[in-house]
Amino acid sequence: MAMPMDSMQFVQMYSMAPTAQGQFPMAQFPMGQMWMNEMGQWFCCVPQECAGAAAGAWSCDWGMPQAQAKMPPKHKYLAMAMERGCWELQAMIRKASNAELNEMASEFRGHVREAVESGHGNHVIQKFVDYMRPGDSYFILEELMAWAPLARLAKHRYACRVLERILEQYPPNAMKDLLDTLVTNTKDLMVDPFGNYVLRVLLEHGPSSHKAAVAEVLKQNLGRLAKNNKGCALLDAVMSYGAPADQKQVAQELILQGLVPGMRRLRSSRDAMERIFLIAEELPPTVQWSLQQLSRKFSFAPWWRRWD
């Protein structure tokens, strides 16, 4: 319930942060009211005797206690990563030497989860994985595994991106646990909004043994994949980066099981459809005939024309 104006206690308003001129009165305002001037500085009404204490305890930037508003000086790179200025830090990472990269990354030890959960910080962690030597950035994977199971991280909207960079940059022996986890959980991840991307990167950059294992799971779940936008994108990946035998088998089964007509209705199926028609040129004549009949019946423009 608002207090009547005539009963409000009025005090001098003081700047919440010391300036070169020191504390200075601004206006008559009710006690405790926050106000921002035209320069973007925050002010608050406090008793005159408390003005000095308030100035030392609060930050003028966001009206938050200084301990929360600003990182300690020794964490300047970590602070940059958590703000919009992370673009500047990413540019520094791209140009840095190995020694400079290690110095910058040292601030993130013990703070990887904090950075990955940030919409800004996760991009910086990705850049460290991209530009640091795998042995130097391995602490990132260690802290991720300490944070949560890898299968769950593959479903995290930001952590999945870091896992993708690890799959692209690390040698197989350095990420065996990650590879094995993804293979074991392929069925759970294959149509997940984020896990799906991780599997696609594995199919493109992973070792052949793990790519074959993922492809085997996908071949057993073609019906589910062909009815899902993310699933169609994964089918395109396995038909693009899988072993030639796996590519042909996936395309052939999609045709013979009659799954191709349903795929054409999905907005993400275009690449997979093009891949099917391309691979079909190397399939047995009976399979080509089946695809030709489907093409004429459902008008798979523009790919069907070569089969007309």
For position 130, which CATH number holds?
Answer: 1.25.10.10
Residue 46 is encoded by which pair of tokens? Answer: 């406090």
Q: What pLDDT is stored for residue 21 in this prediction?
A: 42
Q: Which stretch of DSSP H or E encloses residue 25?
A: strand 25-30
Would you say 15 and 55 are in contact if contact means Cβ atoms under 8 Å apart? yes
DSSP symbols for 126-166: HHHHHHS-HHHHHHHHHHHHHHS-HHHHTTSTTHHHHHHHH
Answer whether residue 295 is part of any domain.
yes
| pLDDT tens-place string over residues 269-292 | 889 999 999 999 999 999 999 988
224 versus 29: the higher-pLDDT residue is 224
Q: ω into residue 302 within 30 of 0, thus cis?
A: yes
Same domain, yes or no: 148 and 292:
no
Predicted pLDDT at 302: 52
| CB-based burial, 110-136: b 16+ in 10 Å, e otherwise | ebbbebbebebbbbbbbbbbebbeeee
The three-state (H, E, C) secondary structure of 74-92, written as one string: HHHHHHHHCCCCHHHHHHH
Mean pLDDT (the chain, rounded): 81
Domain boundary residue, one of 240, 264, 299: 240
Q: Which residues of 171-190 are buried (b: 16+ CB within 10 A; e: fewer)?
A: eeeebeebbebbbebbeebb
Q: Give the residue-averaged pLDDT of 233-260.
A: 96
CA distance 28 to 53: 20
Please indicate, yes or no, whether the overall pTM of this predicted structure exceeds 0.75.
no
Q: Which domain holds residue 37?
A: 7-68
* Mean pLDDT, residues 88-114 taken together: 95
| Cα(56)–Cα(73) distance, integer angstroms | 17
Looking at residue 33, what is its pLDDT?
53
Q: Which of 189, 213, 240 is the last residue of a domain?
A: 240
* Residue 2 located in a structural domain: no
Specify whether 220 is located in the same domain as 117. yes
Are 160 and 301 part of one and the same domain? no
Tell me the CA distances in angstroms from 84 to 42, 120, 121, 160, 163, one per residue in order: 21, 7, 9, 21, 23
User: Are residues 87 and 53 both part of a single domain?
Assistant: no
Q: Is the pLDDT of residue 60 over 80?
A: no
Does residue 16 lie within any of the structural domains?
A: yes
Q: Indicate whether 35 pLDDT > 80.
A: no
Q: How many structural domains are present in the chain?
A: 3
Task: Mark whether 63 and 116 lie in a shared domain.
Answer: no
The verdict on 223 and 75 lying in the same domain is yes
> What does the block give as tokens for 81?
């990563």
Residue 50: partners with Cβ closer than 8 Å, 6 or more residues away: none
pLDDT of residue 219: 97
| pLDDT at site 17 | 42
Indicate whether 206 belongs to any domain. yes
User: Does residue 1 fall inside a structural domain?
Assistant: no
Number of residues that this document lists for the chain: 308
Whether 14 has a pLDDT exceeding 70, the answer reads no
Residues 232 and 125 in one domain: yes
Same domain, 58 and 131: no
Same domain, 141 and 48: no
Which of 1-15, 69-83, 177-191 has the weakest average pLDDT?
Answer: 1-15
Per-residue confidence band for 262, with pLDDT thresholds at 50, 70 and 90: confident
For position 77, what pLDDT does the model report?
86
